[in-house]
């Protein structure tokens, strides 16, 4: 396998231009996501979804504006991939998670499985869609469209180890400059999803950006769930047998 590739999205230099959203749509042929006026902030895209693979969150606070470009996290332990019954979701040689559109039968199970609310079913098409980290561009030795288009290098693409080192240095620098609220999100292999292939530098709590504060891959508890189901199945058989006691013919 090739080196694990990833995104480091440094929200401290994001200017909210949405070039990443546009570049992603153009390169990947992603349909429009509706022309909705949300009346909340400078964000009419709303959230990631089947037709939105990069989403710039825009948060107006009293003394500052926060902007951050959200994307599929390409988890180390990816729930969408775990629960996909067809094998349409697979892990690439770049350690990213991609849906094969010619395999997906639109069962929709990956949608509620994702702890970040990223992947979704495109109803007029019937299949599940999400960011591929521009798998096709990577195969051609190019960086993903969003990273390429980002004018401030808020979105950085590269080998994950390098990105993590770069993010640590950036965090130290920001802390030294007095930006105490700066923090990394998704960089730790010890978190509930084993660390993410796309991680972030945020300037406030993750939930402000619409991100879960402590996500856990649902399949971590799956062995326990199968045991409980086994107990219920045995109970069911016992209960049926009990129903026939005393009425032997």
Other CB atoms within 10 A of residue 121 CB: 18
Q: Is 75 in the site for other proteins (CB under 8 A)?
A: no
Nearest of 33, 36, 26 to residue 52 by alpha carbon: 33
Out of 17, 135, 183, 194, point to the residue binding other proteins (CB under 8 A). Answer: 183
DSSP string, 186-242: S--TTSBTS-BSEEEEESS-GGGGT--SS-B-GGGGHHHHHHHHHHHHHHHHHHHHH
Q: Rank residues 71 and 211 by Cβ distance to other proteins and give the closer one.
A: 211
Q: Rank residues 40 and 152 by Cβ distance to other proteins and give the closer one.
A: 40
Q: Is 62 in the site for other proteins (CB under 8 A)?
A: no
Q: Is 121 in the site for other proteins (CB under 8 A)?
A: yes
Out of 30, 97, 119, 174, point to the residue binding other proteins (CB under 8 A). Answer: 119
243 is annotated as contributing to ligand binding: no
Q: Shortest Cβ distance from residue 136 to other proteins (Å)? A: 22
CA distance 164 to 216: 21
146 is annotated as contributing to ligand binding: yes
Pairing of strands 89-91, 65-71: unpaired
Q: Which stretch binds other proteins (CB under 8 A): 2-10, 29-37, 122-130, 173-181?
A: 122-130
Q: Rank residues 152 and 226 by Cβ distance to other proteins and give the closer one.
A: 226
CA distance 137 to 181: 35
Going by the annotation, the residues of the binding site are 14, 17, 20, 24, 72, 75, 80, 84, 104, 107, 110, 114, 131, 134, 146, 150
């Amino acid at each position: 396998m090739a080196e694990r590739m990833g995104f480091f999205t440094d929200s401290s230099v994001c200017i909210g231009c949405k070039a990443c959203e546009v570049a992603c749509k153009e390169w990947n042929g992603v349909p429009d996501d509706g022309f909705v006026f949300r009346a909340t902030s400078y964000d009419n895209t709303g959230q990631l979804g089947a037709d939105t693979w990069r989403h710039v969150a825009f948060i107006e606070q009293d003394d500052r504006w926060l902007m951050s470009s959200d994307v599929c996290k390409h988890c180390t332990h990816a729930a969408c991939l775990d629960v996909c019954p067809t094998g349409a979701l697979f892990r690439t040689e770049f350690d990213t998670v991609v849906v094969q559109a010619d395999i997906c039968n639109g069962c929709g199970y990956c949608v509620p499985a994702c702890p970040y609310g990223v992947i979704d079913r495109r109803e007029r098409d019937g299949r599940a869609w999400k960011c591929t980290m521009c798998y096709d561009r990577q195969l051609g030795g190019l960086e993903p469209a969003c990273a390429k288009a980002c004018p401030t290098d808020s979105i950085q693409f590269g080998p994950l180890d390098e990105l993590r080192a770069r993010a640590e240095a950036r965090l130290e620098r920001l802390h030294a400059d007095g930006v105490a609220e700066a923090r990394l999100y998704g960089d730790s292999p010890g978190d509930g999803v084993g660390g993410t292939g796309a991680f972030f530098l945020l300037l406030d709590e993750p939930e402000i950006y619409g991100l879960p504060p402590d996500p856990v891959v649902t399949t971590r508890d799956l062995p326990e769930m199968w045991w409980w189901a086994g107990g219920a199945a045995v109970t069911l058989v016992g209960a049926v047998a009990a129903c026939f006691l005393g009425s032997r013919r």
